[in-house]
Amino acid sequence: MHVYLVGGAVRDFLLGHPYHEKDYVVVGATPQQLLDQGYQPVGKDFPVFLHPQTKDEYALARTERKSGIGYHGFQFFTDPDVTLEDDLIRRDLTINAIAMDETSGEIFDPYGGRQDLELKLLRHVSNAFLEDPLRVLRVARFAARYFQYGFSIAPETLNLMQQLSQSGELDALTPERVWKETSRALMETHANVYFEVLHQCGALKVLFPEIEALFGVPQRPEYHPEIDCGIHTLMALQQACNAHYSLDVRYAVLVHDLGKALTPIDELPRHIMHEERGVAPVQDLSDRLKVPTQLKQLAVSVCKEHLKCHQAMTLKPGTLWRLLQRLDVLRRPERVEAFIQACECDARGRLGLEDRAYPQAEYMRKAMHIVRSIKASDLPEDIHGAEIGEMLIQYRIDALADLKQQHENNV
């Protein structure tokens, strides 16, 4: 029985990157041998075991055969005679098909993964790549992760991704799996690359048609020098990545302009009412992918209200108060902060304007602090019942009027 460290841990070890999860493959063993040594079985489709102390995953070396549609459509075979090379050839990319003997440090690289690491290439191991549609998303995610190090997708691998996108196999991916890969990609340093790759290989129009529809839609160049709505969306997303914002902010930025794809052609390049038009596609996309409710709620708010954030300093005090109310300022100030962050990314996700000042953010934060600081205890003692709520609202609007006056005096 031989045990090898495999997959991402070996890849990142060779790249000099930190890694936390370790996966192992066991060659020349049976399930009973591992059970006898105290390993705990966890795999349903094939034998995977948890180490009794470390809880790392140990999988028996296996081969696989396509037997159906999608990434679940496989039959797996394990046997002590299955070799390490047999196991590694079923993996997606050569850089993920490298194994290491942790005891001796010896590297096993039968498919040229180390050379591709040096070449900074994401290349498929074999044509079995075509059997698993999930690999389209995985390669796009790796492209996003390693973009900052100069990695690119091998042309022949991109060609296979295009074939998969056109084959109908992507339709077999479950919403949960698509969202899992996408949410991980959104948290990469260059999340925009994930969507650029999916657009390039044709997968975006299959899995994210609402986002694909933005590409080629023009905007007014005086506000959007980059012109293309799809390019603007990905530039705004990159702003969120640069600022290390949370997943909910990044998702909201990704979908904030979906309504622009629905602008009547005779109105282009203007996009009047795109905020209202965008709500339905944001909801549809979020529901289809089963996006968590918290993310969906913020995304809808950003889609519907982002222009009001851009106009914050010119809004009437009552209008600003109602905006803050809709954002649930009194109970969820963190929601307001996330909203502000997403709107700032929208403002800066424009060609040549990436470093522009966005004073609206500080103005909104001051407004949030002001309305939250006014309590019922600040009211006259003789105010009771429904009058309390009405007067609290008026106090808050008056305070926002003072803020607006102070701003105008300082301009």
Which residues define the annotated binding site for ATP? 8, 11, 91, 138, 141
Residue 392: its H or E element: helix 386-410
Cβ atoms within 10 Å of 270's Cβ, excluding its own: 12
- Among residues 154, 94, 156, the alpha carbon closest in space to that of 125 is found at 94
Binding residue ranges for CTP:
8, 11, 91, 138, 141
**134-159 residues labelled b (16+ CB within 10 A) or e (exposed):** bbbbbbbbbbbbbbeeebbbbeebbe
Cβ atoms within 10 Å of 334's Cβ, excluding its own: 12
Binding residue ranges:
8, 11, 21, 23, 91, 138, 141
Cβ atoms within 10 Å of 216's Cβ, excluding its own: 11
Alpha helix positions (H), 147-190: 155-167, 175-186
Cβ atoms within 10 Å of 411's Cβ, excluding its own: 6
Spatial distance between the Cα atoms of 137 and 325, rounded to a whole number of angstroms? 39
Sign, Cα dihedral of 151, 155, 157, 158:
positive
| CB-based contact 135:116 (threshold 8 Å) | no
- Three-state DSSP at 121 gives strand
- Among residues 104, 96, 110, 131, the alpha carbon closest in space to that of 15 is found at 96
Binding residue ranges for Mg(2+):
21, 23
Spatial distance between the Cα atoms of 8 and 20, rounded to a whole number of angstroms? 10
**Token output for 172:** 């077999």
Task: Kindly calculate the radius of gyration of the chain based on its CA atoms and give it in whole angstroms.
Answer: 26
Residue type, 373: S
- DSSP 8-state symbol, 63: E
Residue type, 278: G
Spatial distance between the Cα atoms of 124 and 2, rounded to a whole number of angstroms? 26
**382-391 residues labelled b (16+ CB within 10 A) or e (exposed):** eeeeeeeeeb
Cβ atoms within 10 Å of 2's Cβ, excluding its own: 13
